[in-house]
Amino acid sequence: MSTEFKIDNIDIRKQGLFFILGPCVIENEAFTLSLAEALKQIAAEIEVQFIFKASFDKANRSSIASFRGPGLKEGLRILRRVKEEIGVPVLSDIHEPWQAEAAAEVLSVIQVPAFLCRQTDLLIAAGKTQLPVNVKKGQFVAPEDMALVVDKIKSTGNSRIILTERGTFFGYRNLVVDFRSIPIMKETGMPVVLDVTHSVQKPSASGGVSGGSPEFIPVLASCGAAAGADGIFLEVHPDPTQALSDGSNSLQLKILKPLLIRLKKLYNIAL
């Protein structure tokens, strides 16, 4: 296993439990910059490393009426401001291979959404940027099969790969986390993240909009830290009831800090 995995100025193999934090989608420029600054302050106060996450386009929404975000060009412009002015690494999703080149000019990490984790051309395009690539494990994919995803990206000469667990379909409109997936995916030699907020999602359960059970976020995050996850992914919003996307499974900003303190302690105990 490599002893170094740099994402901008963060070495995620050497600096303890790291976090991927941010809103589901870029709602507007002022909101995004303000939230990034607030998250940076919290992370600095408790001495944890984080990567700011926000999608420029939610291309896989259930309803045609759902808010998708500002799009590639405007979204990347805003994320560039976050990266340069707030001074934190930034992550966003791509949905089509042609987006990879433009995204790589701004992003610190390219993310491949769960529903697209087997799309070979998308994985290859992301890998060819030579940026770190975070791949969400599909809700329909066995954890051991993510080794095949790793092989696809490695074929480009890129070995900076993160694998993210985000729950598995358990019947219709429900997800369950099998914590065995964390050690299984770590057998690939890649860092493994637990996406807690999408794991409490209830897809399309609210009239074409995803519902969720955010009250279970703390317990799932705690289990992930204790089970050996290298990172925790949390979508955060100052007022989830007003979020333009995935508010029903987002964590309220005001309870983030005590949760991160708890997770840091659990991770250190589990080492």
**Domain containing residue 249: CATH number:** 3.20.20.70
What is the domain extent for residue 143? 6-270
The tally of domains found in the chain comes to 1
C-alpha pair distances (Å), 151 with each of 49, 118, 144, 231, 259:
28, 11, 12, 22, 35
The encoded tokens of residue 144 equal 């051991």
271 residues of the chain, pLDDT tens digit each = 457 899 999 999 988 999 999 999 999 999 999 999 999 999 999 999 999 999 999 888 777 878 898 999 999 999 999 999 999 999 999 999 999 999 999 999 999 999 999 999 999 999 999 999 999 999 999 999 999 999 999 999 999 999 999 999 888 878 999 999 999 999 999 999 999 999 998 876 555 566 778 899 999 999 999 999 999 999 999 999 999 988 888 999 999 999 999 999 999 998 7
CA atoms of 225 and 96, how far apart (whole Å): 32
The encoded tokens of residue 131 equal 């940026």
Q: pTM for the complete prediction?
A: 0.95
Does a structural domain hold residue 1?
A: no
Does a structural domain hold residue 259?
A: yes
Does a structural domain hold residue 81?
A: yes
